[in-house]
């Protein structure tokens, strides 16, 4: 009886028919976690790039306005940043689902331009230039992976600066 059970165990140790299933069962959770990690990273990179593009668009738009401090121009720049359009945007979705126009902030500085700039760059054109700085902070819309790992949410802080040098 003991010899028979020993020979049965030896026979099972040589049997390789279920080895692939066991190996896959051990490796599958790691592969799934890796796939979800790559998906989350790609989605985060896409959202970040959408925010960067929007902030850049808004800064360029305001820098080329004759009066960038105008409330209408600022409102249009906020819509341009978050939706990618200036007018008739009510049906256009946001570039990033939780990024609202009110999250786009402006700092507009008038720079005196003249012949003697005392160490600062001098530009041809008007005596006053507009420097437009657009900033925003957006929370990354996670798929649940960061929460599942107990990690804090990611914040995108984006800043872009444009200077208009009119003719």
Q: How far apart are CA 40 and CA 154, in angstroms?
A: 12
* 11 within a domain of the structure (yes/no): no
Quick one: tokens of 138? 């957006």
Predicted confidence (pLDDT) per residue in 103-132, tens digit: 999 999 887 776 666 666 676 666 777 889
* 132 within a domain of the structure (yes/no): yes
Angle, in degrees to the nearest 10, between helices 19-63 and 71-83: 160
Q: Are the beta carbons of 154 and 121 closer than 8 angstroms?
A: no
pTM for the whole structure: 0.76
Name the least confident of 58-67, 84-93, 129-138, 141-150: 141-150
Render 75-127 in DSSP notation, one character per residue.
HHHHHHHHHS-SSS-TTSPPSSTT--GGG-EEEEEEEE--S--TTS---SS-S
Predicted confidence (pLDDT) per residue in 49-64, tens digit: 999 999 999 999 998 8
Q: Which helix (H) or strand (E) holds 131?
A: strand 128-139
* 135 within a domain of the structure (yes/no): yes
Predicted confidence (pLDDT) per residue in 5-17, tens digit: 766 666 656 666 7
Number of domains observed in the structure of the chain: 1
* 2 within a domain of the structure (yes/no): no
* 144 within a domain of the structure (yes/no): yes
* 13 within a domain of the structure (yes/no): no
Range of the domain at 23: 19-164
CA distances from 88 to 79, 82, 84, 85, 93 (A): 10, 14, 11, 8, 12
* 4 within a domain of the structure (yes/no): no
* 3 within a domain of the structure (yes/no): no
Quick one: tokens of 102? 């009110």
């Amino acid at each position: 009886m003991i010899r028979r059970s020993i020979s049965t165990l030896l026979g099972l140790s040589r049997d390789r028919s279920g080895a692939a299933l066991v190996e896959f069962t051990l490796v599958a959770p790691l592969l799934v976690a890796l796939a979800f990690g790559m998906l989350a990273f790609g989605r985060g990179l896409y959202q970040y790039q959408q925010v960067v593009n929007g902030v850049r668009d808004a800064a360029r738009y305001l820098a080329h306005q004759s009066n960038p401090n105008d409330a209408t121009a600022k409102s249009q720049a906020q819509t341009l940043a978050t939706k990618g359009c200036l007018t008739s945007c009510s049906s256009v979705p946001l570039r990033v689902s939780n990024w609202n126009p009110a999250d786009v902030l402006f700092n507009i500085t008038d720079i005196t331009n003249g012949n003697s700039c005392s160490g600062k760059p001098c530009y041809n054109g008007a005596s006053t230039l507009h420097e437009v700085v657009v900033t925003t902070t957006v929370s990354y819309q996670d798929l649940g992976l960061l929460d599942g790992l107990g990690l804090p949410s990611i914040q995108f802080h984006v800043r872009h600066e444009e200077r208009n040098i009119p003719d």
